[in-house]
Chains A and B, each alone.
Chain A
Amino acid sequence: MTESLATAQKTFRTIAANIETVMHGQGAAVRKLLTAFASGGHVLLEDYPGTGKTTLAKTLARSINASFKRVQFTPDLLPSDILGVSIFNQRDQSFEFRSGPIFTNILLADEINRASPRTQSALLEAMGEGQVSVEGDRRDLESLFFVIATQNPVEFRGTYPLPEAQMDRFALQFSLGYVSAAEEVAVLSAQEKSHPLDRAGAVVSKDDVLALKRAVTEVRISDELKRYIVDLVSATRTASGVSLGASPRASLSLMKVAQASALFDGSEFVTPEHVQQMAVPVIAHRMVMDPQARFSGVTARGVVEELVKKLKVPA
């Protein structure tokens, strides 16, 4: 293994270990979060209240010596509340730009489906292209820009479901789920006196993270596996009960996430396991199911799992 890859893997592992001191029993979720982070994608966490979505995001931000902003999305939130606004300076007799919370390294968009579609789409450009346009001026975001959005699947009143286009911008969507009873007891014990989040400090620098991101691109992937990824994604377009399959962007994300996942495991190349592991969180949320199939209990997740099981995998 080359030195850069070895260092990158170490960075990976360090962050993961640090997060796991705070998030008990969420190894798999941490791994998904970090692979998305390292592959340059954004993450949508969908889970019930109180499962630790916000804590996870905050712990990641703390683990890296990077700037972190949090925006609580509400129905009256305006795009300018996220992007920033120009204010007339009386003294200088000129407009000056007050940047919004989006100009940060890690952005936690909490309960993103509570904001109006207009505000949600303000995030679109930022997430897709790493830049924002405010009053006609293009402003680049930080080179390290990572959005963790959370949404609550239980409440529907006063929410605006994310449009398909926006769902596609998230590299991964996953949920944390409830931990086992023993793990939950451990959570209680850990927070008996103080919150472990307070003790968690930065373990890697921003440069380390940028190096990690560069290393991900060096992970090799064979043409055969690329073909497998494409086959898997295109199979979702013809699967029964699906009215809109996954886009080529899904293929791209799956490849990058698989690369990051391989790096996480210390492999210099991607294996079929890496692709299969990440297929559901990368693909499922981009699909639109037939209303009829949905009523009969077919989920996008189930469809992707079935495809993974049925499609001949290179071995």
Chain B
Amino acid sequence: MKPPSLLLAAALLLWGWQTGLLAFALLMAVVLEAARWIEWRVDFSNSDFNHVVDLCSLLAALGGFYCVLTRDATNQVMTMFQATNFTSRSSAMNSVSQTTFIFFQWFPMILFPAVAAQFYSTRDAVPRSCFLFFARRRLAREGRPQPDRPAINLTYPYFAVVLFSACLANQRNNWFYFVLCAVISGTLWVNRPRRFSTVIWVATLILVVKAGFYGHRGLSEFQTVLENKVANWVSNWARRSGDRNDATTAIGRIGQLKLSGAIVMHVEPEVGPVPSLLRDTMFNRFDSPRWSNSPRPTEAQILPVGDGTSWPVLLRTATNFVRLSSFATRGQSVLALPPGATLIENLAAGEMFTSQAGTLRVTQAPDFLYLRVQHGRGPTSGAPPHKPASDKTISTDLAIPLREHDAVGKIADELGLAGQSGPVAAQVIDRFFAENFKYGSFLPNSLRQIPQGLTPLGFFLLKNRRGHCEYFATATVMLMRQAGIPARYVYGWSVQEPERGTGRFVVRERHAHAWCVYWNEQTRTWVDLDTTSPDWVANERQNASFWEPLTDRWSRAWFGFSKWRWHGATGEWQNYLLLALVGLIGLLAWRILARQRRRRRKGNGLSEAPPTAWAGLDSEFYRLENRLQKMGLERRPGETCGDWLERIEPLTAAPIPAIRELLPLHYRLRFDPHGLTGPERGALQAGVAKWLETARLEPGQRN
């Protein structure tokens, strides 16, 4: 079944228009349509088709690989599975599906070799067995030949794939629908039922096209309405929003806190010790269970120095260096840095902002960050404590929510914190927590019976004395503030797990941590005060998944690969990929054509008959056959001499009947075990010589 001419070309051009690959589309369309006018054909064997199909599979694999590389698909898939809430999962799903769309858009190119091979082959379909790799292998193992049938004519399936790919790339353009309809109508027009009049056919088509147009419009509007509704419902459940305006803690929540063991960061000390805490964001205002910043911190831009990859965070130098590697989503990231970080190197980002909350945000960064950070003791980033506008109001860095006053005040009195200096108070509070509190991420149901009048924090401080880092951090901040020392709540990461044999540390998702920073008036810095009982690390490790060693291995490989990709191999690796591909295709084409030529030279035949010296192979008759072959009248492999002569007789003016008279002699020489007598052989020789003489006298025999 041949499609009407220019149909595939139209589909391909539509696809090219939509995907922006018009040059490729034009080239492919020309190659495919030219097959109608060019008579040159290649006799593809099954194994040649196998090679071509394998090439297509390879192209698909490479395309997928390329997609994964450029679109960061693995990360998207990982995000999709690790997402803790609906919003992030659905956004991850969106990006995964977009990547898939892009991959599918390439399908016309990926399948092109197979379709072109079919168009330029002597067959009109590709054997189905070529597409079944394992069946092929099995047949080869069993020594059976690969069946030619059933065969698949790729034309219309390819047409469908091209249209499908064009649809995926649709740039939301009304024209697209009508052009698509026109292309499909072209196909339908050729195959239309003839028993209806053209008018009816056209009217029906217009009706269907109209219905389709309004139908898909309605559908898309319905989708918008539905999406809005769903977004409304979902936003109520969203637990942790992506920005750093606030941090909702699990204070007061009951049950097991589950954090995954996925590795989010590698920390590699270069000079000096490894920083034990990496700050992400500071918060100053607590509304149980939420920490936020008030007033909303303003951002200031940091400009790079040198070659544009070094960013001075603080205007001082430090002596320690550490390398951090982590992933950025779509080029955006909030950097988690050791306190006292002064300079960030090896970061090719577009812009960097620092906020009063000490947050460092980068945009237009590579998807994988591999930073070199200079850090050391001394002033840290983050604005100094908030000074109230008047004496009547209290600084936000000293504010304690009313509900927590009772419990915090009671403990502060017990510890005698009032009037103490920062470091002393810190010591007292640290000892207090170390001696009286235990770490537990599991909050039992008994918490439901929090006594009347007690907040979750109060219950933690006075009765339960067991909780996770958010309790410790919040309580510490409150106690410091009660002592009159400005303090803030910090969200970040704890670095504690050395990776075996590498000298690096890994930071897992469950190492997410919160602690307190207080303002040291003398040094004018924010000092870390982590009061969470040190057994929390071991405690959390118990929750490690059984599969963790396995996922760690994968994660390590992925980190290594990402590092190589973004920061290792400089140069246009994409170009190398393309070059390798072109070379591969060229090699395949050369092999197929070379084998073809060899086969033609050898003369084709199915059986490899042993070169037995059968009788009469020296017959003079073969001279006649050679002569006729040179005239373009060659004998087909399965054709007997008699049939051959009968077939070519109307095709030539050469005296075929004369040959037919010689045939019985030749046959006797060849197939009669008794053979020819001497005179008979002489007659054959003479007859052949005579015929060759006559044929020479009559050149230009072909009609």
Contact = CB atoms under 8 A, between A and B. Distances in A.
Interface of A: 220-225, 227, 231, 235, 238, 240-241, 268-273, 276, 292-293, 296, 298, 308-315
A224 B638 contact: no
23 contacts: A220-B673, A220-B674, A222-B614, A223-B673, A227-B612, A268-B672, A269-B667, A269-B668, A269-B672, A269-B673, A271-B640, A271-B667, A272-B671, A273-B643, A276-B640, A298-B149, A309-B636, A311-B637, A311-B638, A312-B605, A312-B637, A314-B614, A315-B639
Given A220-B673, A314-B670, A296 B149 contact: yes
Given A220-B672, A311-B607, A240 B614 contact: no
Contacts of A308: 638
Given A241-B149, A270-B671, A312-B606, A224 B615 contact: yes
B638 A240 contact: no
B150 A235 contact: no
B606, B607, B625 interface centre (most CB from chain A within 10 Å): B607
Interface string B171-206: 000000000000000000000000000000000000
A297 B348 CA distance: 65
B612, B639, B644 interface centre (most CB from chain A within 10 Å): B639
Contacts of B148: 240
B145 interface: yes
B283 to A, nearest CB: 70
B272 interface: no
Contact of A224 (B606, B636, B671): B671
Interface string B128-156: 00000000000000001111111000000
Contacts of A231: 607, 609
Interface string B648-683: 000000000000000000011011111000000000
Contact of A222 (B636, B639, B641, B670): B670
A227 B640 CA distance: 15
B420 to A, nearest CB: 90
A1 to B, nearest CB: 12
A222 B615 contact: yes
B465 interface: no
B596 to A, nearest CB: 17
Interface in B590-616: 605-607, 609, 612, 614-615
Closest 5 CB pairs of A and B: A240-B147, A312-B605, A269-B672, A309-B638, A224-B614
Interface of B: 144-150, 605-607, 609, 612, 614-615, 625, 635-644, 667-668, 670-674
Contacts of B149: 240-241, 293, 296, 298
A224 B189 CA distance: 56
Contact of A273 (B609, B614, B640, B673): B640
B607 A315 contact: no
A310 B637 CA distance: 6
Given A224-B615, A273-B643, A314 B607 contact: no
Nearest to A275: B640
A222 B673 contact: yes
A313 B671 contact: no
A314 B669 CA distance: 12
Contacts of A220: 672-674
Given A227-B609, A240-B145, A309-B639, 6 more contacts: A224-B670, A241-B147, A268-B672, A312-B607, A314-B671, A315-B644
Contact of B640 (A222, A269, A292, A313): A313
A36 B125 CA distance: 40
A312 B638 contact: yes
A299 B34 CA distance: 35
Contacts of B641: 272, 315
B453 to A, nearest CB: 80
A125 B145 CA distance: 36
Contacts of B674: 220, 268-269
A237 to B, nearest CB: 10
Given A272-B640, A309-B638, A312-B637, A296 B670 contact: no
Contact of B144 (A224, A235, A238): A238
A145 B606 CA distance: 39
Contacts of B667: 269, 271
B606 A311 contact: yes
Contacts of B145: 238, 240
A188 to B, nearest CB: 33
Contact of B607 (A225, A235, A270, A276): A235
Nearest to B604: A312
A29 B240 CA distance: 89
Contacts of B615: 222, 224
Nearest to B147: A240
Contact of A313 (B614, B639, B672): B639
Nearest to A296: B150
Contacts of B673: 220-223, 269
Contacts of B612: 224, 227
Contact of B635 (A222, A225, A235, A315): A315
